[in-house]
Structure 1
């Protein structure tokens, strides 16, 4: 996707603000393009961060996207081929984190970001471990089994972002909330993407919780074939929505623990992802034929309101030293 003149200026401003050296600029731009192309809501939310923070967020997204593309490439390549590619990527990642550099743009940006913000490399290892599960695990019998997966696929994303976003408290205090919000976003994706995941041979809804409503994998597959959920599946999905909303409630307190400059961004993501659940409910759980999405007009409205808050925070931050003087 080509960027217009305004986007080119915006990208350059972000790199200048972050102090990214010339040698790494194309690496960061590569990750930024991946974010803009594949993560619309996520990219929109990052625009609410201070310019200096955005390149690091793009770098983290770019790596996650690169891994996702390997795992979800269910075309001609076998799971064994994709597992081998993940192993090779893991080795190149280790080299990049050890040396602080890489000839591959996405890894170069990631290594620089990890060093700048002292991101625990175990978080990347946990992420890759969960991504490997996608190559061999097609469903999860219990909530506990799913939690093992989402720790690496989602919780660690929140934990990677936390030192980039900054906190007003000891970072340890904010970590449980950051992890919980990452999980809430992931569970929302699972509900939105039930049909797409079934097409890939996967079910990310705990089978024992579905069974309580008389739903199994075969019933989900039949709903995918017809494009319509039946009564049992609607009740099961309603239960999953309620459980996911509880995760948002558990996470929301952590937003106030973030740096003031980061809060408008995270609130926007919190609001827009939560509203995906609203769209699912309003559609009467029609997730097998249509992909629930927040309308563009609504996304713009939420972002515009948050942008006003972000500008106010930045203005207050600039004036604060003068007031103390």
Structure 2
């Protein structure tokens, strides 16, 4: 797209999408340098639109569930492939992907990996094992972390940094799953591995029954602690980023990581009300991240990634 006015309109729509869909990510994105910030909005707009299409929701809210998952997936795939081929789609979110892909030389395999995650949902897939859970989290969030790193200027060949970026996506998704256990259950979904449910004697069809709430709280704590491990690993990728990108990433890690930590702390009470991070807390994480970013090479020196953590496919 060579028309500056058309690009500006697409960026404006993307900015509106992130403002509606995630106050946490919107707050963190303001810390990016202008070019990176716009590309973050463009990527978010496409990811948000695909998620909404798959789940029958509006900017991540009011999930209703869908009865035509395969048809939605086919439509989403066709528009995504058109965008990757440089064809104008006529919808802001998919034209946002077209812009993003052209401006970053995005490897097409990455957005296709995200679509594969939505395909799992369209099939009514559920994780049977912890390894299944990690692979799902990669497809719906870890790959987004890798694409965001590319938006920040990381080379697609820098696998070490992309691994760390993927870790942050995994951390966010694990925290998401922990926070949304009740909402997902009411929509007929469960992302807790079946072997975990078997371990705690919780029937998937009665996940929210009062007699299982204490055990469910223990699983929420497990998810929150796993999210924290991946969040910590991700921080060691920030020395490879420019200061403002590192600042934004570390702020997002703190803001969103607080959700997983809250679920872990609340235990059985984690689903009495939706866990959020207050505006005051967000500002605190942003201030803390500024100092952290300045000292990132000291705080997070080059080190081998924890080999016990699941890693993205190559």
- When normalised by structure 2's length, the TM-score is 0.83
Q: CA RMSD of the aligned region, Å?
A: 2.8
Give yes or no for the alignment of 1:176 onto 2:174.
no
Count of matched residue pairs:
290
Q: 1:263 aligns with which of 219, 223, 246?
A: 246
Aligned to 1:165: 152
Q: 1:104 aligns with which of 91, 103, 115?
A: 91
Q: C-alpha separation between the residues in 1 aligned to 2:65 and 2:226?
A: 36
1:273 to 240, 256, 259: 256
C-alpha offsets along residues 47-85 of structure 1, whole Å, 9 cap, x if unaligned?
Answer: 0001121111111110111111111117888533x4213
Q: Does 1:85 align with 2:68?
A: no
- 1:261 and 1:168 map into 2 onto residues whose CA distance is 17
Match of 2:184? 197
Whether the aligned pair in 2 keeps the contact of 1:181 and 1:248 (CA below 8 Å) is: yes
CA distance in 1, matches of 2:64, 2:270: 27
Q: Deviations over 1:114-157 (max 9, x none)?
A: 11111111111111111121122252111122222222101110
Moved more, 301-310 or 141-150: 301-310
Larger Rg: 1
Unaligned runs of 5+ in 1: 1-18, 314-325
Is 1:119 matched with 2:102? Answer: no
Q: Give SS of 1:230's match.
A: helix
1:11 match:
none
State the alpha-carbon separation in 2 of the partners of residues 53 and 264 from structure 1.
Answer: 12
1:28 aligns with 2:11: yes
What is the match of residue 220 of structure 1? 207
Aligned to 1:156: 143
Q: Once structures 1 and 2 are overlaid, which stretch shifts more, 301-310 or 267-276?
A: 301-310
Q: How far did residue 111 of structure 1 move?
A: 0.7
Structure 2: gaps spanning 5 or more residues = 58-62, 297-314
Q: Provide the residue aligned with 1:9 in structure 2.
A: none
Deviates more, 1:173-182 or 1:132-141: 132-141
Secondary structure of residue in 1 paired with 2:237: helix
Distance (whole Å) between structure 2 residues aligned to residue 145 and residue 181 of structure 1? 18
5 Å matches for 1:230-249?
Answer: 230-249=213-232
- Deviation at 1:37? 0.7
Q: Which residue among 258, 279, 282 is the counterpart of 1:299?
A: 282
With structure 1 as the length reference, what TM-score do the two structures score? 0.80
| Partner Cα separation in structure 1 for residue 268 and residue 208 of structure 2 | 15
The 1:265–1:203 alpha-carbon spacing in structure 2 relative to 1, beyond 3 Å, is same
